[in-house]
Amino acid sequence: MYIRLPCTVFPQVHSVRSGVSIISPVALETVLKNEEIQLEQHYRSTIQKLHCSGADENTERGNWSSKREYVLSIIGYAVGFGNVWRFPYLACKHGGGAFLIPYTMMLAVAGLPLFFMESSFGQFCSQGPINVWKSVSILQGVGITMMLVSTFVAIYYNVIIAYSIYYLFASFQYPLPWSVKDCNSTGLLCRPEVALQCTSSMNETGPVVWHLALCLLPLFKGIKSSGKVVYFTATFPYIVLFILLIRGATLEGAKDGIEFYISSKSNLTKLADAEVWKDAATQVFFSLYIAWGGLMALSSYNKFYNNCYQDSIIVCVTNCGTSVFAGFVIFSMLGHMAHVYRRPMSEVADAGFALAFIAYPDALSKLPISPLWSVLFFLMLITLGLDSQFAGIEVIATFLQDAYPKVLKSKRGIVTTAVCIVLFLLACHAGIYWVNLIDTFCAGWILLVAGLLEVVRSIHPVWPVYISGNRFIKDIEMMIGTKSALFWFCWRACWFFITPVFLSVCTQFLNYIQLLYK
């Protein structure tokens, strides 16, 4: 079998008939491969020139001004409330230091592989999750799910930021408003009742609490220069955590708190409990924002030859280290509070809202110059929340712009305004119930299911695993360069076997628990 082509294409091989050349399929494949290599080299050379000049490769979408801004934005997006109040509580609940074993394993076999995968998807396609998922029509709903999760959690984060801003301004007085009550002895909330003004149930919405709603006004302008703002918001929390750790370590009872958090007293028998492994997987997904769509959206603004593998390692290690470090900060202070109240640590340690807005503020109120420590703590919470919000709003804007490019190409301000308007509705008297609802159902088991479907997406349902895996790996090598066979063997093992097996097992232990707000 031969293919006939104009002789102008392959003049070196021609037949007697003028104007026609004859070339075998093998020779044609060789020539086309050489042409492909030359085009790729030319494209790579052009892109590298743009990279060195600082110009945008993608003139329609734009690119990050520098790699540093991207890495700081991703770290700020990933390091959030879950690192400060969720991880320490889970560690205490599931055997202290023993919890680090399932957490580290889940980070290695699920967190890092999926983080690398999502970053590669976004960077290679230069598209948000909705367009990325269009390549597999049967799974397009996963992209929509990611958008909905990011939208709801953005609303939920804004409410927490509003509470933090309210507490920040309430801290500029002495004594602190919540220091007049022993929250653990009376069972009352440390936060002032006027702050939340909760109704008896979520069915009674009540009017808008305007002093909470007004706390959200700064978010209208918050994302316009997020790439520059992260230089402060991504680094300031670490400064505050370090200061609070030094202060907490000098207090009486700090040793007891740290021993309760992680020590030789760790309960290794907890590792036999399936709930421990499920919570470890959920925490990894929650803290790294895997399956939220944010990683795809933010990495879609990378330049094509950015080393997304290196970025994934840096962010995952930083995130894990921050969680462990924050645990020492929190429990050194709670150990002091247990010493003051003369109670066991198990009675003062709590989770979520109770830890951030009840237990820890109460512990800070027992210190000398308590307003200073309270201001630093709530300012840290605000910067953690804003960092995640900068990325969260960017995610929503990218979702909508990719879905409706002709209508929303240059109207990101409208998206921000719409999110904030919806958020005002959650500043009503029943808003705290909705926040608890979103936190439970939008940032839990659904992430594990979406992550499992992501692995399915990387293995195209029509192609054999070997073919689709090779194509996916070649796409990544175009961006980060050629790697060894052993390197890709390890990643193949994770993406195509270990990760889906672990996630499938974890989803088998998901149980519905009736949600209560106390």
Q: Which residues are annotated as a binding site for Na(+)?
A: 76, 78-79, 83, 287, 319, 384, 387-388
Give the span between the Cα atoms of 296 and 395, in whole angstroms.
Answer: 9
Give the span between the Cα atoms of 58 and 63, in whole angstroms.
Answer: 7
The C-alpha angle with vertex 452 and arms to 124 and 100, in degrees rounded to 5, equals 100
Give the span between the Cα atoms of 20 and 9, in whole angstroms.
Answer: 10
Alpha-carbon separation of residue 154 from 123, 196, 392 (angstroms): 23, 19, 6
Helices (H) and strands (E) in the chain, counts: 28, 2
Give the number of other CB atoms < 10 A from CB of residue 274: 12
Tokens of 229: 């703002």
Q: Are 359 and 348 in contact (CB under 8 A)?
A: yes
Q: Specify binding-site residues.
A: 76, 78-79, 83, 287, 319, 384, 387-388
Q: Measuring CA to CA, which residue among 450, 487, 514, 350 is closest to residue 149?
A: 450
Give the number of other CB atoms < 10 A from CB of residue 209: 20
